[in-house]
Structure 1
Amino acid sequence: MRTLIELDAAGLRAEADALAEVLRDCVLNGASVGFELPFPHDEARAFWLGLVPSLERRERRLFAMRGEDSVICGTAQLVLAGMPNGRHRAEIAKMLVHSRARRQGIAQTLLLHAEACAREEGRSLIVLDTCTGYQAEPMYLKLGYQVCGTIPDFATMPDGTLGSTTVMYKRL
């Protein structure tokens, strides 16, 4: 049975290697989530451990999905805007699903849970960006996200080529 969990700072530390494996797998399979090849495990682990302070300050919430084998196979973050004029919104960040667990509803489950948590946090707007033309884009549209626009050559893909991003939002 799959299980959705929320990780606090201690949980993140305990699961840093499993989270690093998910992130690494996504990058190795072409996801443009901030990293380029080569992408060693230690770099992926350092990224996750770098989030500890923002979790401790409650500026970010980290959700993970455990697969049938109890190993983390997906993750998403809810970043809570902290400036006074933005406390009504949140951002979805690093929505990641390991290649072995895709097309099973994990991303959708994580996203809907993040939205529910955003509502609990008093947020009425969620924003995100996603690689233009990639698998996640139709899912976001299906779940009611609206396209603001597309930015060409926004970031390098893991192989170093430039890729576009689509900026989206949803009113909660």
Structure 2
Amino acid sequence: MRYVADHGFPVPRIYEASGADLVLERLDGPTMLGALADGTMHLRDGGVVLADLLDRLHRIRARTATDPGTRILHLDLHPENVVMTEGGPVVIDWRNTTEGPPELDVAMTALIVAQVAVDPGHPFTGQAEAFLEVLLGCTRDNPLSQLEAAVRRRAADPSLTGDEQAHLHEAKLLVTTFARAHH
């Protein structure tokens, strides 16, 4: 987090770090999902903001990689992990962070949103599909080359519910459809 903050990326300020324990800046404001749900943020604006955050993050070169195309990846960047503060959006939950191709990060974000879009029991199903279309229309990196890798990562996530696992293939097809339309 300090590394991306040093490159101007919006993360909570770190006051203290001791092993896995962090003391972070308190952020005031709703998550992006909360702002979308209560109507204070339009779906289009949310998709544009999330695409911009992905693009900004992917401009930051990885610290340890020798390949100049390797970047910092969040791998869990979705509307619940963006806090809409007075000063702008701030990205939280960096526990999945790694280095790799930007397309993997975009594919993972798109897949997470698509899982909501294809889940008939989710309260944001319709909005998630519209959000996904805007997001993929605005991202610079085409997720298709890394979509299979994202599906494998997502399927291996032990915190996924049975419903989320069941909708993974359908979500992949939705991402494929929108990505082909926009890239």
Q: Same fold (TM over 0.5)?
A: no
Output the TM-score relative to the length of structure 2: 0.29
Higher helix proportion (structure 1 or 2): 2
